[in-house]
Chains A and B, each alone.
Chain A
Amino acid sequence: ELKVEQNPLFLSMQEGKNYTIYCNYSTTSDRLYWYRQDPGKSLESLFVLLSNGAVKQEGRLMASLDTKARLSTLHITAAVHDLSATYFCAVVPLSETSGSRLTFGEGTQLTVNP
């Protein structure tokens, strides 16, 4: 059974600081997704990472994928309050040939304090 683990699960940080959220998964995969969820809202797609070594950046967020280590990171640079949300990574196993059901991590609840 595919396991996806995120850490930390809770992150409180000050504006202007940098931090990294980690996402480990237990099976071979070449597709990893990062989503953002605000309280009571749906999931907003942030990044789609499709190959080993993939790195994508959008504003203060940068995501990377290391398929050999089965690890993805979401790096936050100079955090601002607007980034406060819950961040999920989600993985599709390489063996999934008939579809792309996502297995999600538990989520990292990020709070950025002024």
Chain B
Amino acid sequence: NAGVMQNPRHLVRRRGQEARLRCSPVKGHSHVYWYRQLPEEGLKFMVYLQKENIIDESGMPKERFSAEFPKEGPSILRIQQVVRGDSAAYFCASSRLSQGSWAYEQYFGPGTRLTVT
């Protein structure tokens, strides 16, 4: 069984360019989460999506960042007009359907390491 797939694994962008990060969840998982890890720090939640719905985006910066999880295809985290402070590792995680307040374990992808020059 394939785990969570992320691509690209490494991405270099100049300031002002756009970055697109892709995440394919574990087969059968309908929940996707994005986290950001700045150098030497822990992971910070960004956004939680189900198919075609954003459930919780409370961790997303208000500007330049957006995320989607279409009916078909991977989840995309999009960063417009990147700045040096966006340099970080971006991890995607997926889980199975949660029932009420009971939620299943999250499986993490290998991450995309974004470097803004």
Contact = CB atoms under 8 A, between A and B. Distances in A.
A104 B108 contact: no
Interface residues of A, number: 25
Interface string A35-62: 1000011110100100000000000000
Contact of A43 (B59, B108, B113): B108
Nearest to A47: B105
A63 to B, nearest CB: 14
A100 B41 contact: no
A100 B111 contact: no
B101 to A, nearest CB: 5
Contacts of B106: 33, 45, 100, 102
Contact of B48 (A43, A48, A101, A105): A101
A102 B46 CA distance: 10
A43 B107 CA distance: 8
A94 B101 contact: yes
Task: Point out which of A33, A100, A106 has the most chain B C-beta atoms below 10 A from its C-beta.
Answer: A100
B42 A100 contact: no
B18 interface: no
Contacts of A48: 105
Given A43-B108, A96-B101, A101 B91 contact: no
Interface of A: 31, 33, 35, 40-43, 45, 48, 88, 90, 92, 94, 96-107
22 contacts: A33-B105, A35-B108, A40-B113, A42-B111, A43-B108, A45-B106, A88-B43, A90-B43, A96-B103, A97-B101, A98-B56, A99-B103, A100-B31, A100-B98, A100-B103, A100-B104, A101-B45, A101-B56, A102-B33, A102-B93, A104-B35, A106-B41
Given A99-B48, A104-B35, 13 more contacts: A31-B103, A40-B113, A41-B110, A42-B109, A42-B111, A88-B43, A99-B33, A99-B98, A100-B31, A101-B45, A102-B33, A102-B35, A102-B43
